[in-house]
Amino acid sequence: VASVLKDHGMKQKKDDKGRFHLVLGGKNGSGIPFKRFAQLFKWDYGITPHCNFFRGFIWYHKREKMIQVLRGYSNETGWDADSHVPESFLFFPDSAEDSELDKFRVAFESSTKRSRDNIWILKPSETTRTEKVQVKDDFDEIMSYIQSKERAVPYVIQRYISNPLLLPGNRKFDLRYFCLIDHKLQAYIFPEGICRSCSSEYNMDNLCDQFAHLSSKKVQRKHKDFGAFEKNNEMSTEQFAKWYSAEFGESFDRQVAPQVKEIMARVVNSGKSKLENVGHADYSAFQLFAFDFLLDKESKVWFLEANATPEIHQTLTTEMANDIVEIAIKPIFEDLMGKASPKNIKRFEPLYEDELVSCNGNKK
């Protein structure tokens, strides 16, 4: 994005001292001086800076907060989140009254012990801490793990989807799609996603094997066979769609993609109010998120989580960067960069909740 901005005539500063109009923060918004926006920029400089992180992005990025906003959205709108998000329970190390361990115990004991339907995945708050994710089927082990003082972070205890669709080699995978939210809180989906695969064969008899159960590249790149099936354990959703169609005789674009779009739109709308009070903010912002989904053997799509600092596949970076500038930056700086035009947007597509189409073709 910085390179594209330079092509449009923007000059990059050597540091963040003094005044500036646009700042691109690092991981989790590092380097963005939000406090200065409210004080120095507003009153001394008369500038409303633009940046690539919303102050409230954690409501998508942190797993327990994402579950909380989805529940609130479901109560307000009637959308059945439980049909699209695995059954979840929250644990807060510093707040027993907010933790849902009693509810989890009931759910665990109501299912058959050691069965495929009674397996749980334990996810720490930060979506970037994939290596800390565990899969377990023993209640005491689960309690011992999340209550360990060594961890002391919120956890989401989620029912494990034990019937995932598998790639050749009986390998698990997930689907990652990218969503851009602009300064007006309009969401856009990048139509080409990434299928991220596991290196080991899916095996329910060994829940400790992260190489079989977690498709994150952060985990998989440590496997000796990383990249043996697909380069970097990744393929485009276009490639995946061809395999899916050949394997099952169904259209990915009709069967799977509409579910992805619907869930993404619902998730985005569930947390919009948490991002920022746009009309009264002392800055403006845009942000790119990654949304991860699991596809089960019935071709049902499940939402797993959102990531605020996603790694982007090399083949997508140029097109994505150009579109981000056109959609989310150029409208703020038209005097310098010229007027934005929908004709210049190559790939991102607007995501409107009231135009969603269900899998059977009926508008919702």
pLDDT of residue 363: 39
Query: Can you tell me the mean pLDDT for 198-224?
Result: 95
- Give the pTM: 0.91
pLDDT of residue 119: 96
pLDDT of residue 43: 60
Three-class DSSP labels, the chain: CHHHHHHCCCCCCCCCCCCCCEECCCHHHCCCCHHHHHHHHHHHHCCCCEECCCCCCHHHHEHHHHHHHHHHHHHHHCCCHHHCCCCEEEECCCCCCCCCHHHHHHHHHCCCCCCHHHCEEEEECECCCHHHCEEECCHHHHHHHHCCCCCCCCEEEEECCCCECCECCCECEEEEEEEEECCCCCEEEEEEEEEEECCCCCCCCCCCCHHHHCCCHHHHCCCCCCCCCCHHHEEEHHHHHHHHHHHHCCCHHHHCHHHHHHHHHHHHHHHHHHHCCHHHCCCEECEEEEEEEEEECCCCEEEEEEECCCCCCHHHHHHHHHHHHHHHHHHHCHHHHCCCCHHHCCCCEEECHHHCECCCCCEC
Query: Can you tell me the mean pLDDT for 251-256?
Result: 96
Query: When comparing pLDDT for 359 and 339, which is higher?
Result: 339
pLDDT of residue 138: 94
